[in-house]
Amino acid sequence: MELNILTLCYLIGSITFILGLKMLSNPATARKGNLVAAGGMTIAIFGTIFLYEENGAKLGNYPWIFAALAIGGIIGTMAAKKVKMTAMPEMVSLFNGMGGACAALIGFIEFGHLAKGLSNGGVIHTGMLSIILVGLVIGSVSFAGSMVAWGKLNGKLKDFSFPGQHIFNLLLLAIIVSLSVYLVVNISPENVYLFYVIAGLSLTYGVFFVFPIGGADMPVVISLLNSFTGVAAACGGFLYDNKVMLTGGILVGAAGTLLTMLMCKAMNRSLSNVLIGSFGGNKSGGAAAGSTPQGNYKEISLNDAATVMAYANKVIIVPGYGLAVAQAQHTCHELEKYLEEKGVEVKYAIHPVAGRMPGHMNVLLAEADVNYEKLMEMEQANDEFKSTDVVLILGANDVVNPAAKNDPSSPIYGMPILEVEQAKTVIVNKRSMKPGYAGIENDLFFQPKTSMLFGDAKKALQDLLAEVKNV
C-alpha cells in the first residue's frame, strides 16, 4: 500500500513539473507555476523520506536528512532574497553548478557500492555502470563549467585561452569517452581507479570548456550548462528507478537545450560557433576587430530629452545590462507611468540575449511591476520602430548595433538586432563611450538622429523624470 502511495506521490510530482513549466510560459501565471512545481517537489521529497523502502527497510537517518534540508533551505532562501538583479546570473550559475555536483556525487556513491560488490566477487551490470559514468561526466562538467561561468560573471575570473585550446579540449573529451568505454567493457577490481581518473578529467574539461568562451556568450553557456545538469539528474532517475527525478531531469535538459538553440538563433550563430568563437572575449577596452572610428557624437541635455519625450506620441524603451547595474528598473517604471499620464504611448523592446542570462530583462522589469503586455519581442519591436518618435536606450549596446547588418567585418555581423535607428529620435544612456560587453564599437552612437545622455542610469532617469514633470 505504501508503495502505491509513493508511486502516487511521484505521479503528482511529475504532473506538477509539467504544469509548472507550462505556466512559466506566461508571465501572468509564472509565479503560480513556480509554486505548483515546488509543491509537487515537496510531495515527492517527503514521500521518498517516509514511504521509500528497500529490502523491507526504510531510509532512516531522519535527523541528518532534515538537518540537511533545513540548512539548504535557509541558505537558498537567504541567497534568493538578498541577491541583486545584477548578481542574478551568477547566482543561477552557482545554483546550477550545485545541481551538477549533486549528480556527480550520486555517481561516486553508487560506483562505490558497485566497486565494493565487485571486490567481493560480484558482477557489475554494464548498463548501470554506463548510466553512472554518463551522470558523473556530465555532472562534473556542469559543476566545473558553472563555477567558471560564475567567476567570469562576477568578475573574479577573466577570459583565458591559449593557442590550440579547442583542439586540447576535443582531445581531452575524446580521452574521457575512451576511458569510460574501456571501463564499462573491462571493469575489474584492478582498474576501478579509472573511475576517479575520469572524474578528474571531467572536472578539468569543464573548466577549460568555459574558460575561452567570450563574456557576450554567457547567456548561451548558462542555458547549455543548465541542460547538462538536467541530463545528469535524469541519469540519477534511471539509477534509482525514480520517475519524478527522471521526469524533472528530462524537462530541465529538454528546456535548456531548446532555449540554447533559440538563443543561438537569436544571435544568428551556431552552437559550435558560440563554443569556439570566443565572441565577447576581447576586453581590451578599445575597438575590436571589425570596428573603426566613427567620428563625432552629440550629447543631449536633460531638458531637451524630457521635452522630446513628453511631446512624443510613442516612446519605446530598450533596457540593457546597464539598467540592471544601476538598479534603475523602478525609476524607469515611474518615468513610463508619468509619460502615459501625459498621453504618451510607452512600450519596451526586449532582445532575446540582452543582459547576462536568458530572460534577464524580463525578470528585471517584472520586479518593477511593469505590465508584461508592454514588453515586445524583437520581431514585434522592429515592426514598430518606424512609427516611434523616441527610442530611449538604457544600458543596451551590442543588441542595437547596426554593424550587425551593415559591416561584414564586424564580429556580430548577421546577428538579428533591435533596429532602433528606424525611429525618429534615439537617445542612448550610457556611462561612457566605452564599447559594450562584446568589446566592439557601436555605429549607432555616431548617427545623426542619435544623442547621448551620459551618466548612471538611475540618476539619469531620476533627473529625466523631474524634467518631464516640469515640461
Rg of the chain (C-alpha set)? 25
The Cα-based distances of 22 to 15, 96, 326 in angstroms read 11, 21, 32
**Residue 316 dihedral angles phi and psi, to the nearest 5°:** -115, 125
pLDDT above 70 as % of the chain: 92
First to last CA, the chain: 73
- Cβ atoms < 10 Å from Cβ of 162: 9
Whole-number Å distance between alpha carbons of 240 and 309: 60
- Cβ atoms < 10 Å from Cβ of 47: 20
Whole-number Å distance between alpha carbons of 421 and 446: 11
**Helix 2-23 with 243-266: angle, nearest 10 deg:** 10
Residue, of 271 and 387, whose pLDDT is higher: 387
Whole-number Å distance between alpha carbons of 296 and 363: 35
Residue type, 90: E
Whole-number Å distance between alpha carbons of 321 and 304: 25
Residue type, 302: L
Whole-number Å distance between alpha carbons of 226 and 419: 31
3-state secondary structure of 373: helix
Q: Name the pTM for this structure.
A: 0.79
Most confident of 119-133, 307-321, 429-443: 307-321
Q: E strands within 370-449?
A: 375-377, 390-394, 425-430
**Residue 162 dihedral angles phi and psi, to the nearest 5°:** -140, 160
Q: Could you tell me which residues come within 8 angstroms of residue 54 by beta carbon, excluding any fewer than 6 positions away?
A: none
Q: Which three cell numbers stand for residue 414?
A: 548577421
Asked if residue 375 has pLDDT above 60, the reply is yes
pLDDT 10s digits, 139-184? 999 999 999 999 888 878 877 778 888 889 999 999 999 999 999 9
Q: Which is catalytic among the residues 217, 398, 407, 443? A: 398
**Residue 394 dihedral angles phi and psi, to the nearest 5°:** -115, 90
Q: Which three cell numbers stand for residue 243?
A: 520517475
The mean pLDDT of 225-252, rounded to a whole number, is 91
Asked if residue 291 has pLDDT above 50, the reply is no
- Cβ atoms < 10 Å from Cβ of 301: 11
Whole-number Å distance between alpha carbons of 72 and 364: 26
Q: Is 456 a catalytic residue?
A: no
Of 112-121, 226-235, 291-300, 306-315, the least confident: 291-300
Of 237-241, 287-291, 423-427, the least confident: 287-291
The mean pLDDT of 16-40, rounded to a whole number, is 88
Contact indicator for 392, 465 with CB cutoff of 8 Å: no
Of 205-219, 247-261, 299-313, the least confident: 205-219
Strand partners for 347: 316
pLDDT band of residue 37 (cuts 50, 70, 90) is: very high
Sign of CA dihedral 157, 158, 159, 161: negative
- Cβ atoms < 10 Å from Cβ of 446: 16
Of 54-68, 193-207, 221-235, 336-350, the least confident: 54-68
Residue type, 186: N
Note the pLDDT of residue 292: 47
Note the pLDDT of residue 295: 63
Q: Is 30 exposed, middle or buried (0-12, 13-18, 19+ CB in 10 A)?
A: middle
Note the pLDDT of residue 159: 73
Whole-number Å distance between alpha carbons of 149 and 93: 7
- Cβ atoms < 10 Å from Cβ of 406: 11
Whole-number Å distance between alpha carbons of 106 and 141: 14
365 closest CA partner among 33, 27, 32: 27
pLDDT 10s digits, 398-418? 889 888 888 887 777 778 889
Contact indicator for 98, 88 with CB cutoff of 8 Å: no
**Residue 289 dihedral angles phi and psi, to the nearest 5°:** -60, 140
Strand partners for 348: 317, 375
DSSP string, 374-427: GEEEHHHHHHHGGG-SEEEEES--GGG-THHHH-TTSTTTT-----GGGSSEEE
Residue, of 355 and 139, whose pLDDT is higher: 139
